[in-house]
Structure 1
Amino acid sequence: MVEYESYKSSFYDWLGKIPSHWEEKFLEQTASEKCDKNIGNTVTQVLSLSYGEIKKKGDLNKGLIARDLSTYQIIAPGNIVMRLTDLQNDHKSLRTGLVKDDGIITAAYLCLAPRISSEYLHYLLHAYDVKKVFYGMGGGVRQSIGFKDIRHMYIPVPPRAEQDQIVRFLDWKVSEINKLIGIRRQEIQELEELKRSRIGSIIMGQFQTQKKKSDISWVEAIPLSWKEKPLIQYAYERCIKNDGMLEDNLLSLSYGKVIDKDINTTDGLLPASFESYQIVEPGNIILRLTDLQNDHKSLRTGLVTQRGIITSAYTCLETRGDILPEFLQLELHVADLCKVFYGMGGGVRQSIGFKDIKRMLIAIPPLSEQHRILDLIHGIDAPTDKQKEQYLNIINELEELKKVIISDVVTGKIDVRNITVPKYKHVDDIVDDDLENNEETETDREEA
Structure 2
Amino acid sequence: MRKMKDSGIEWIGEIPEGWEVAPVKRLCTMQAGKNLTSEQIAPEGIYPVYGGNGIRGFFSDYNCDGQFLTVGRQGALCGNVHKINGKVWATEHAVITTPSSYTTLDFLYYLLIGMDLNQYVSSTAAQPGLAVGTLLNLKTCYPCSTLEQTQISNYLNAKCSEIDVMLTKTRASIEEYKNLKQTVITQAVTKGVRGEREMKDSGVEWIGEIPAAWDVAKAKYCVTITHGSDPKTEGSIPVYGSGAESFKTCGEYKEGPTVLIGRKGATLHIPHYIEGKYWNVDTAFDVKAKNNFSLPYYYYLATSFDYKFYIAQTTLPGMTQSNYYNMFLPFPTFPEQEEIVNYLDAKCAEIDKLIAKKEQLVKELESYKKSLIYEVVTGKREV
TM-score normalised by the shorter chain: which range applies?
Answer: 0.7 to 0.9
Mapped contact 1:9–1:18 kept (Cα < 8 A) = yes
What's the counterpart of residue 91 of structure 2? 105
**Counterpart-to-counterpart distance in 1, 2:278 and 2:260:** 12
Match of 1:230 among 218, 242, 245: 218
Query: Separation in 2 of the partners of 1:224 and 1:279?
Result: 42
Between Structure 1 and Structure 2, how many residues are aligned? Answer: 362
Q: State the shift of 1:233 in Å.
A: 1.1
1:81 corresponds to which of 52, 61, 71: 71
For the pair 1:286 / 2:263, whether they are aligned, the reply is: no
Deviations 1:303-331 (A, max 9, x none): 23454455523444333232122111211
- Tell me what 1:6 maps to: 3
1:118 maps onto 2:105 in alignment = yes
Deviation at 1:218, TM superposition (A): 2.5
How far residue 409 of structure 1 moved from its aligned partner, in angstroms, is 1.0
SS where residue 78 of structure 1 aligns? strand
- Contact 2:261/2:271 (8 A) holds in 1: yes
> Equivalent residue for 2:238?
249
Give CA-to-partner distance per residue, 1:135-170, whole Å, 9 cap, x none.
7x999xxx8662444433321122223223322221
Gaps of 5+ in 1: 61-72, 87-92, 264-273, 417-448
Return the letter of the residue paired with 1:343: F
Q: State whether residues 82 and 111 of structure 1, in contact with CA within 8 Å, keep that contact through their aligned partners in structure 2.
A: no
Q: 2:245 maps to which residue? A: 259
> What is the CA–CA distance in structure 1 between the aligned matches of 2:49 and 2:133, rounded to whole Å?
26
Indicate the residue corresponding to 2:298 in structure 1: 328
Of 390, 393, 417, which aligns to 2:360? 393
Between stretches 280-289 and 190-199, larger displacement belongs to: 280-289
Alignment of 1:276-315 (within 5 A): 282-288=256-262, 290=264, 299-305=269-275, 307-315=277-285
Please say if residues 230 and 282 of structure 2, whose CA atoms lie closer than 8 Å, have aligned partners that are also in contact. no
1:387 CA displacement: 1.9
CA distance in 1, matches of 2:11, 2:273: 45
Separation in 2, partners of 1:240, 1:352:
13
Per-residue CA deviations over 1:353-408 (Å, capped at 9, x if unaligned) read 23234222111222222222211111112222222222222222211211121111
**What is the correspondence of 1:281-430 to structure 2 with a 5 Å cutoff?**
282-288=256-262, 290=264, 299-305=269-275, 307-335=277-305, 340-345=306-311, 350-416=317-383
Alignment equivalent of 1:188, drawn from 154, 174, 180: 174
Taking a change above 3 Å as real, the CA distance of residues 240 and 360 of structure 1, as seen in their structure-2 partners, is closer
The structure 1 segments of at least 4 consecutive aligned residues displaced by more than 6 Å after TM superposition are 39-43, 73-76, 346-349
2:205 matched residue in structure 1: 217
Once the two structures are TM-superposed, the CA of residue 245 in structure 1 deviates from its matched residue by 4.1
Identify the residue that residue 44 of structure 2 maps to in structure 1.
Answer: none
Aligned to 2:152: 166
Separation in structure 2 between the aligned mates of residue 195 and residue 40 of structure 1, nearest angstrom: 40
Whether 1:134 aligns to 2:101 is no
Change (3 A) 1:361 1:84: closer
Distance apart, 1:345 and its partner CA: 4.4
Q: How far has the Cα of 1:230 moved from its partner?
A: 0.5
Please state how far the C-alpha of 1:47 moved relative to its aligned partner.
3.1
Q: 1:305 to 1:166 in 2, by over 3 A?
A: farther
Match of 2:12 among 15, 37, 43: 15
Amino acid corresponding to residue 211 of structure 2 in structure 1: P
Q: Give SS of 2:359's match.
A: helix
Task: Write the distance in 2 (CA, Å) between the matches of 1:334 and 1:39.
Answer: 38
1:62-77 equivalences in 2 (<5 Å):
none
How far did 1:34 drift? 1.1
Paired AA for residue 97 in structure 1? V
Determine the structure 2 residue equivalent to 1:55.
55
SS at match of 1:216: coil
Deviation at 1:39, TM superposition (A): 8.0
Between the aligned partners of 2:335 and 2:198, the Cα distance in structure 1 is: 18
1:43–1:75 CA distance, 2 compared to 1 (3 A) = farther
Q: 2:184 matched to 1:198?
A: yes
CA distance in 2, matches of 1:197, 1:37: 45
Distance 1:311 1:377 in 2: 29
Shift in Å, 1:179: 0.7
Matched residue type, 2:225: E
Partner of 1:152: 137
Task: Tell me, yes or no, if the aligned pair for 2:69 and 2:109 is still in contact at 8 Å.
Answer: no
Using CA pairs below 8 Å that are at least 6 residues apart, which structure has the higher relative contact order? 1
1:205 shift after superposition: 3.3
Instruction: Determine the C-alpha separation between the residues in 2 that align with 1:346 and 1:32.
Output: 46
Instruction: Provide Cα deviations, 1:236-289, integer angstroms capped at 9, x if missing partner.
Output: 3311322524667343555xxx523357xxxxxxxxxx9xxx977533333336
Kept in 2, the 8 Å contact 1:48–1:56? The answer is: yes
Contact 1:166–1:409 (8 Å) recurs in 2: yes
Compare 280-289 and 19-28 and name the one that shifted more: 280-289
Work out whether residues 280 and 304 of structure 1, in 8 Å CA contact, stay in contact via their aligned partners in 2: no
